[in-house]
Structure 1
């Protein structure tokens, strides 16, 4: 069944929904058309949070923890493939599915937790970017953090260029990271025999267990599960059984290749730390800056430069995908949609403020602790994404024959148990260490909050078992279609026309006259925006005001000659406010506005009058281009 245009706008990431057509391609081209979503997801598996845990593991325990990286990667592969399956089969992202499955009140804390996780993730990207710029160009960390706000412009540019261009940017960033570490492998010359031995599982205790928990916690990120379930919907394919099965297969290939690349990068960081630091007796290297400095001491300038370039690339690519995940979560849980640049700016500011004040009051050395804190916050949210995902993909009714097999379900629940248990352990240890300082806020705020979050996690797990599914109509984004009965002609008698004395006016006026004919009265509206008009209002008599008044009078005389009744109305100062005031004062029944068709950066500079006006008036608005 074909979907209407009206419903399409409620789809996950509707700007790029089904924007990549796979149906017209064959052979390898068809497989390649599905490649992309998992690469956007994979950058979250190689962000600065991963770097910190990998460096600490490699410097302290050599190659011993490579098997932990492999296990984390296999768990990630399983969960990301479930996320892709949900998006392909149900056409819903994880946030939308959660809104349909859980009570309305649950979605508010779910959104709050997911948004907090994205801010925490963004915090890690900001710190990584700032450290990378500092290492490469000597830029002070506080300046590096401040200028990261400008990547909002980069995101806006990429969104306007379409999904394929964004994927190409991310893949190129991932390629830079991978290539940088490949070259570094040749420089540090690790022991191949010891690397192979590192894949052998071993008993962990003490610091090794703690770092292993950190590696797993930093590897599987909650926002990636939301992101992947949405990104797979950018591919257009036949919605029959064969098409869905093929899409699941090709997306699994995409996921496997991308996450193996992420595994290579993480393993390369750990191996680099083992070969460069552990081998040379430097067992306490946990800070990214220390790793860079030691690389310079041991191997000269090339290795540390590549290290810094890779760090910047990883941070920049992760920040783009974090914004997309934020948009998905807000639209899915709350049905609230705002401009991507605005939500990017809000998320970035929420992340910049703690980083900025940490540097200001505690100095550069405190950033490492802030990075660890961001990973703890991420770990808190993980269960709220993993548990619903397994529930949704196990449901035979909603998955229409594509529910996961029992053995996959067992593996998924075991994986979630390992992740949640280890992350809970990490959180308890962190809270205990904070409690040792004796702060009153630990027992009055942090502990009660952690208990409430824990109870919510239990509810999220139990609820789908006791209430299998909510009413089907919950899945309809805008409600059900109404019966269209006999239509009576609408006669507009008071029509407003906004004019700006450009070549577009003729077309705008023509459309307005068609709507009302000679029975209606027309209100020609123009707003003077000079500094004098903004300050003095209707008492302004500057040259532009006088010129505009004469032009409006010409339009009125011209319409009178043609047999139409009209009056001129001049507004002053803010365009939107003035148009709305004139519309309300004259009790207009229809407003006809001309649109210039500018978008992207021009919208930010010139403003979006039409869009703002239509939200503030209660009458129909006809937009003429």
Structure 2
């Protein structure tokens, strides 16, 4: 039999077994979906099989789970504030920010499909112990910050729908139980879990479309907002928020794992390319849906609150009351429609957060434990601080906006620690083989990463310039900032030829032994 040239160009994929045991993946082999379509018995080699609607349907799912990261309560709050303060003028930026998010998520999917491993696993293998431990801690901080926003958003929705009977901390307890929903659905297979999330996305779309119909925003102004770029000094902070809240660090880790829920023959280049094509289509469709939902929310608040006295004070906590005052009640009061949509956003995002936490913890720490135990650990690590927050802020409603600002900062500082490892890995032939990204895509991707990092850097600068007071606190912030920047520089330089040359000059290096890792 002739050797497979594709296998020879994929050194990472040849490390199927270490110490005689199959390498760890995001899903057990028995859990993966077998994609059946046209001419499955034909060994196509490097030829990509023809397009099949049936196959597209079977590959559809991971992208929609990923898209929930673009629809969580933090994003919903960003949408409503952008609409209330900037009107329709930032819709064009929302569109391009979604496009940038799509590019990053497609690269994440590419990494997972081409290597058969997700980003957290590859970080464990490719970086030295100290660096991967820092990356793990940063990923956990980002996940906890995101989860607090999502759980608080769900708790606010529960309080709205219960007419204030259920306090904020009670909503947190109810939301915490979604871990059991995840564990229950996982017993019925990946498709059951994906169907559940599709229902929640449908509820969001229906709720916010209903609100759109009640508000009747101007179609002409909406179209101009999408097509004509406009920005002013008064709306710069909202513009930064629109871009910053769409790129979620844990979502980058999540998507690279979700795509492994389908069985793909990694020794067959044509099959890998086929999977990438279908995942690209379904991810694009999923983010188009999320973009439309974000537009609906922004437009409703642009029509009702732009230019009003309430514009600068609106947030998740009081948005329902303001909507009710502005639009009144119909067959179903708009307050409850808002609560239903917000609850669907919060519940779906908290469950995907738990899912992402399992992959992050399992990948970085190489944990071999049952999924229910890993889910409980992940859920507890986020729920405990969220409960403390809920108890503290339950009677301090105005302080929830301050909390949200701090959480946005917490997540913003983590973004480079997901993007830089991702871009370094998808650019390397020893990791991606023939599926490494080309020069043009590499330049575009790094420009997007640089833009997102600069935008979030601006957000941090604005935040700390107004929040940090005192010489000692300022000195501490400077020291932490220096360490932060130094680690980012290290991650970037690690991918350069300098480190590769340094490795090759060591006689006992891993490279000399044929190891393809960077660590």
TM-score class, shorter-chain normalisation, is: 0.7 to 0.9
Q: Which of the two has greater strand per residue?
A: 1
Whether 1:254 aligns to 2:282 is yes
What's the secondary structure of 1:190's corresponding residue?
Answer: coil
Distance in 2 between the 1:450 and 1:348 partners? 30
Residue in 2 that maps onto 1:298: 326
| Change over 3 Å in CA distance of 1:209–1:42 after alignment to 2 | same
Match of 1:166? 193
How far has the Cα of 1:5 moved from its partner?
12
Query: Which SS does the other structure have where 2:362 is aligned?
Result: helix
The 1:339–1:205 alpha-carbon spacing in structure 2 relative to 1, beyond 3 Å, is farther
CA distance in 2, matches of 1:140, 1:439: 39
Whether 2:180 is the aligned partner of 1:153: answer yes
Question: In the TM superposition, what is the alpha-carbon distance from 1:75 to its structure 2 partner?
Answer: 0.3
> Given the alignment of the two structures, is residue 371 of structure 1 paired with residue 404 of structure 2, yes or no?
yes
Aligned to 1:402: 435
Contact 2:430 2:516 in 1 (8 A): no
Alignment of 1:414 onto 2:447: yes
Q: List aligned pairs for 1:71-90, cutoff 5 A.
A: 71-90=96-115
Q: Return the alpha-carbon distance in structure 1 between the equivalents of residues 21 and 429 of structure 2.
A: 25
1:11 to 24, 44, 47: 24
Instruction: Give 1:424 deviation, angstroms.
Output: 1.4
- 1:236 and 2:263 correspond: yes
TM-aligned CA deviation for residue 444 of structure 1: 5.7
| Equivalence for 1:34 | 59
Instruction: Report if the CA contact (8 A) 2:26-2:118 is conserved.
Output: no
- Partner of 2:206 in structure 1? 179
Q: Distance in 2 between matches of 1:365 and 1:355?
A: 17
Residue 17 of structure 1: how far off its partner (Å): 7.2
Q: How does 1:301-340 map to 2 (within 5 A)?
A: 301=329, 302=332, 303-340=334-371
- Deviation digits for residues 406-459 of structure 1, max 9, x if unmatched? 2211111110011001111112222222213x495x336444333222211111
CA displacement at 1:256 relative to structure 2: 0.1
Q: Which runs of 5+ in 2 are unaligned?
A: 1-6, 8-13, 40-51, 504-509
Q: In structure 2, what is the equivalent of residue 191 of structure 1? A: 218
Deviation at 1:364, TM superposition (A): 2.8
Structure 1 residue 461 corresponds to structure 2 residue 492: yes
Cα shift at 1:339: 3.9
Distance 1:358 1:210 in 2: 25
Query: Who is 2:460 aligned against?
Result: 427
Question: Are the structure 2 counterparts of residues 439 and 339 from structure 1 closer, same or farther at C-alpha, using a change threshold of 3 Å?
Answer: farther
Aligned-residue offset at 1:162: 1.6
CA shift, 1:103, in A, is 1.8
> In structure 2, how many angstroms separate the alpha carbons of the residues matched to 1:345 and 1:445?
35
2:137 — aligned with what?
A: 112
Return the alpha-carbon distance in structure 1 between the equivalents of residues 221 and 296 of structure 2. Answer: 14
Q: 1:52 — aligned with what?
A: 77
Preserved contact between residue 118 and residue 223 of structure 1 (Cα < 8 Å): yes
Q: 1:439 to 1:86 in 2, by over 3 A?
A: same
Structure 1: 5+ residue stretches without partners: 477-625
Given that residues 111 and 333 in structure 1 are in contact (C-alpha distance below 8 angstroms), is that contact kept between their aligned partners in structure 2?
yes
Q: CA RMSD in A?
A: 2.5
- Give the Cα–Cα distance (whole angstroms) in 2 for the partners of residues 51 and 342 of structure 1: 31
1:21 and 1:8 mapped to 2: Cα distance?
23
* Displacement of 1:61: 1.2
The answer to whether structure 1 residue 351 and structure 2 residue 376 are counterparts is no
SS of alignment partner, residue 435 of structure 2: coil
Cα distance in 2 for partners of 1:343, 1:143 equals: 24
Corresponding residue pairs, total:
474
The answer as to 2:100 corresponding to 1:67 is no
**Cα distance between partner residues in 1 of 2:55 and 2:64:** 17
- Shift in Å, 1:205: 4.2
Q: Distance in 2 between matches of 1:196 and 1:117?
A: 34
Change (3 A) 1:32 1:329: same
Structure 2 CA distance, aligned partners of 1:201 and 1:31? 34
- Secondary structure at the residue paired with 2:77? helix
Distance 2:463 2:309 in 1: 28
- Pair 422,8 (structure 1): closer, same or farther in 2 beyond 3 Å: farther
| C-alpha contact 2:317 2:397 (8 A) present in aligned 1 | no
Separation in 2, partners of 1:5, 1:136:
53
Tell me: CA distance 1:17–1:227, structure 2 relative to 1, closer, same or farther (3 Å). farther
Residue 156 of structure 1, CA deviation: 1.4
* Contact kept in structure 1, 2:88 and 2:299, CA below 8 Å: yes
Separation in 2 of the partners of 1:443 and 1:339? 45
The answer as to whether partners of 1:60 and 1:285 remain within 8 angstroms in 2 is no
Listed one character per residue, the Cα deviations across residues 53-91 of structure 1 (whole Å, up to 9, x for unaligned) are: 111110011100101101110101111111111111111
Match of 1:22 among 35, 41, 63: 35
What's the offset of the Cα at 1:347? Answer: 3.7
Say if 1:392 and 1:361 are closer, same or farther in 2 by CA, change over 3 A.
closer
Contact residue 179 and residue 354 of structure 2 kept, 8 A: no
Residues 122 and 348 in structure 1, CA contact (< 8 A), matched pair in contact too:
no
In the alignment, the residues of structure 2 paired with residue 473 and residue 222 of structure 1 have an alpha-carbon distance, to the nearest angstrom, of 32
Corresponding residue to 1:94 among 102, 119, 139:
119
CA 8–39 in structure 1, closer or farther in 2 if over 3 Å, else same: farther
Partner of 1:220: 247
**Structure 1 residues 7 and 220 mapped into 2: Cα distance closer, same or farther (>3 Å)?**
farther
TM-score by length of 1: 0.71
Q: Is residue 268 of structure 1 aligned with residue 281 of structure 2?
A: no
Distance 1:175 1:22, change over 3 A: same
CA contact (8 A) 2:89 2:231 kept: no
1:14 is paired with a residue of what secondary structure?
coil
Is 180-189 or 247-256 further displaced after alignment? 180-189
CA distance 1:180–1:439, shift in 2 (3 Å): farther
Matched residue of 2:26: which SS?
coil
Structure 2 vs 1, CA of residues 286 and 221 (structure 1 numbering), >3 Å: closer, same or farther?
same
